């Protein structure tokens, strides 16, 4: 989908760099060794006697799911293949070895235990959350095709005047706003392109350039927290929170924004003040110019009207009764019927993200559908755990992993486990604001992880400008990330206590 965005060349170069790294002989050798290591671990878990796991009543199917879960964890953590490829392989392994459409002589339910429904495994790709992703992608593609993104950036940045510090704040707020509804990678590429003439005006040795370059990925990462479609971890959390067969909390789009958007605004202001302090401007004014015009025709008007209606329906889902997932498909239908979105545009949807998420959902279904989750709840006394300890450990683990691997992979791994833990703890979680504090907290922790250039695509794009040193990114990433995690959990605790979620 990035081809529709201003600044696509930056995204393209980032992907080319990653691809060249994958083909490096030294890296290929390390990955080959890693794959052998993973295969050995998984085979050992697969072939061990079920009694060795210490879980009473464990079936062979459940044992295989444990092995597949460990396989997914190792593959995502070490990134031996792209994260989406691991997700696809998870679904295939579940279908072949743990479903009612698996290999006949090793999938006899009377011998290996309750099998998964192959339809349910495959349905992970058509989960309502996936529809939410697709609707969000289509909305983003349509707005960029008519130039609405450039027009909005120009209009929204104009009130901030010419003072350097104010323009810095303007770029951060606009980037955060766009990241709530558009891919944060595409938003970063677009906003960095708009900054190119600004960089030329600032002194080469001045710290103002660093502030500007750092502000975009920081704002893009933080902005994604504001809506359920802002980042994949948000939608993953929403899936488990709203699952009718699980927690069934019924958290809507507008409900999410009520407590998350204020958090984003506060974090943007804190980040702005920190950037001003650490990287002060020597040039006090900047002439801002953003090239590009929005198309002025009937299709453009239809896109704008549809976008406004969609956002309003998302925010008023409790009033209308139309859930977030159904609303997401309305712009898809309108744009398809009006010819605004063509079959070629559908090729630009970020299908790798969708496959990544679908694989995580299949893994979650496997744990619950096989009875493994219930078995673990009975075997481990989660009810005796401290709610505060669960929050701290889950937050730190997610924050640490998300700085090193895909945020989506981290969420896909942790969410199913935490759902099991939260279900077992029951009413004890009320002391910290409820289950939503734990699950949405993981989404916040993942968005707050921005220490390294590899932590997020926005970081990688900003680092590629050669205006930022890794030590500067790490310092700001640690400070802003930890503040974001702490404030985020406090907001969730308050929202849970006030029964907003």
pLDDT score, position 406:
84
Q: Are 167 and 161 spatial neighbours (Cβ–Cβ below 8 Å)?
A: yes
Distance of CA 375 to the CA centre of its chain: 29
Q: How far is Cα 426 from Cα 381, in angstroms, rounded to an integer? A: 12
pLDDT score, position 15:
58
Q: Nearest CA to 332 among 132, 180, 185, 128?
A: 132
The model's pTM: 0.86
- Give residue-wise pLDDT tens across range 126-163: 898 889 989 888 988 898 888 888 888 888 888 998 89
Q: Who contacts 257 (Cβ-Cβ below 8 Å, separation ≥6)?
A: 226, 227, 315
DSSP tally for the chain: helices H, then strands E: 24, 0
Distance of CA 367 to the CA centre of its chain: 22
Checking if the pLDDT of 379 tops 60, the result is yes
- Give residue-wise pLDDT tens across range 261-271: 999 999 999 99
What percent of the chain stands above pLDDT 70?
95
Checking if the pLDDT of 213 tops 60, the result is yes
Tokens of 343: 């079959």
Q: How far is Cα 335 from Cα 138, in angstroms, rounded to an integer? A: 8
Mean pLDDT of 479-483: 96
Q: Name the least confident of 8-17, 76-85, 173-182.
A: 8-17
Q: Are 329 and 129 spatial neighbours (Cβ–Cβ below 8 Å)?
A: no
Tokens of 163: 């003072």
- Three-state DSSP class for residue 412: helix
pLDDT score, position 23:
62
Q: Nearest CA to 404 among 83, 188, 88?
A: 83
User: Tell me, what DSSP letter sits at residue 163?
Assistant: B
With tokens 């960029």, the residue in question is 144
pLDDT score, position 7:
55
Mean pLDDT, all residues of the chain: 88
pLDDT score, position 19:
60
Terminal-to-terminal C-alpha distance of the chain: 33
Q: Nearest CA to 335 among 294, 303, 295?
A: 303
pLDDT score, position 176:
96
pLDDT score, position 6:
54
Q: How far is Cα 212 from Cα 227, in angstroms, rounded to an integer? A: 25
Q: How far is Cα 200 from Cα 214, in angstroms, rounded to an integer? A: 16
With tokens 């879960």, the residue in question is 69
CA dihedral 315, 457, 452, 223 (to 10 degrees): -20
Distances (CA, A) of 306 to 110, 142, 300, 333, 365: 53, 10, 10, 10, 34
Please, which pLDDT band fits residue 61 given cuts at 50, 70 and 90?
very high
Mean pLDDT of 150-177: 91
Mean pLDDT of 110-124: 93
Checking if the pLDDT of 439 tops 70, the result is yes
Q: Who contacts 196 (Cβ-Cβ below 8 Å, separation ≥6)?
A: none
> What is the DSSP secondary-structure string of 33-92?
HHHHHHHHHHHHHHHS-GGGG--TT--HHHHHHHHHHHHHHHHHHHTSS-HHHHHHHHHH
Q: How far is Cα 247 from Cα 249, in angstroms, rounded to an integer? A: 6
Label each residue of 351-399 as H, E or C.
Answer: HHHHHHHHHHHHHHHHHHHCCHHHHHHHHCCHHHCCHHHHHHHHHHHHH
Q: How far is Cα 48 from Cα 63, in angstroms, rounded to an integer? A: 9
Q: Nearest CA to 118 among 140, 87, 96?
A: 96
| Cα Rg, the chain, nearest whole Å | 23
Q: Are 142 and 342 spatial neighbours (Cβ–Cβ below 8 Å)?
A: no
Distances (CA, A) of 213 to 274, 288, 424, 467, 484: 14, 15, 45, 7, 20
pLDDT score, position 347:
85
Tokens of 164: 């350097």
Q: Which residues partner with 99 through β-bridges? A: 116
Among 281-285, 290-294, 380-384, top mean pLDDT goes to 281-285
Please, which pLDDT band fits residue 5 given cuts at 50, 70 and 90?
low
Backbone angles phi, psi at 182, to 5 degrees: -125, 150
Tokens of 287: 């002439």
Q: Who contacts 22 (Cβ-Cβ below 8 Å, separation ≥6)?
A: 28
Q: Are 457 and 184 spatial neighbours (Cβ–Cβ below 8 Å)?
A: yes
């Amino acid at each position: 989908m990035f081809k529709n965005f201003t600044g696509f060349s930056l995204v393209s170069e980032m992907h080319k760099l990653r691809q060249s790294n994958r083909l490096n002989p030294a890296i290929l050798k390390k990955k080959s060794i890693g794959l052998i290591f993973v295969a050995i671990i998984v085979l050992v878990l697969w072939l061990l006697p079920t009694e060795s796991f210490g879980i009473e009543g464990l079936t062979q199917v459940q044992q295989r799911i444990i092995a597949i879960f460990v396989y997914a964890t190792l593959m995502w953590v070490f990134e031996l293949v792209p994260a989406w490829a691991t997700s696809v392989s998870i679904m295939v392994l579940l279908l072949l070895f743990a479903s009612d459409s698996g290999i006949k002589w090793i999938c006899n339910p009377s011998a290996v235990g309750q099998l998964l429904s192959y339809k349910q495994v495959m349905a992970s790709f058509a989960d309502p959350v996936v529809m939410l992703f697709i609707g969000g992608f289509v909305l983003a593609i349509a707005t960029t095709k008519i130039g609405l993104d450039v027009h909005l950036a120009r209009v929204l940045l104009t009130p901030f005047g010419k003072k350097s510090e104010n323009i810095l704040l303007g770029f951060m707020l606009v980037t955060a706003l766009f990241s709530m509804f558009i891919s944060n990678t595409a938003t970063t590429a677009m906003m960095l392109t708009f900054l190119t003439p600004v960089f030329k005006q600032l002194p080469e040795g001045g710290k103002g350039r660093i502030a500007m370059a750092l502000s975009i990925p920081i704002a893009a990462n933080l902005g994604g927290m504001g809506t359920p479609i802002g980042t994949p971890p948000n939608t993953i959390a929403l899936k488990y929170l709203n699952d009718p067969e699980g927690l069934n909390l019924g958290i809507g789009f507008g409900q999410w924004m009520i407590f998350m958007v204020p958090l984003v605004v506060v974090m943007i202001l804190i980040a702005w003040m920190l950037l001003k302090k650490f990287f002060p401007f020597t040039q006090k004014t900047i002439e801002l110019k953003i090239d590009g015009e929005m198309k002025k025709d009937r299709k453009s008007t239809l896109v704008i009207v549809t976008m406004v209606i969609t956002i309003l329906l998302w925010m008023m889902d409790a009033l209308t009764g139309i859930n977030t997932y159904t609303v997401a498909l309305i712009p898809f239908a309108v744009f398809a019927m009006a010819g605004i979105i063509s079959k070629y545009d559908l090729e630009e949807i970020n299908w790798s993200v969708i496959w990544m998420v679908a694989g995580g959902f299949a893994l979650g279904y496997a744990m619950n559908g096989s009875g493994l989750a219930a078995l673990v709840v009975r075997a481990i006394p989660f009810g005796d755990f401290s709610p505060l300890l669960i929050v701290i450990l889950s937050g730190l683990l997610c924050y640490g992993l998300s700085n090193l691997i895909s945020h989506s992979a981290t969420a896909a791994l942790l969410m199913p486990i935490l759902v099991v833990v939260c279900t077992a703890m029951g009413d004890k979680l009320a002391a910290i604001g409820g289950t939503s504090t734990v699950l949405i907290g993981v989404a916040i922790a993942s968005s707050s992880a921005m220490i390294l250039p590899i932590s997020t695509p926005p970081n990688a794009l900003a680092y590629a400008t050669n205006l930022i040193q890794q030590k500067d990114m790490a310092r700001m990433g640690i400070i802003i990330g930890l503040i974001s995690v702490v404030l985020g959990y406090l907001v969730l605790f308050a929202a849970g206590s006030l029964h907003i979620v």
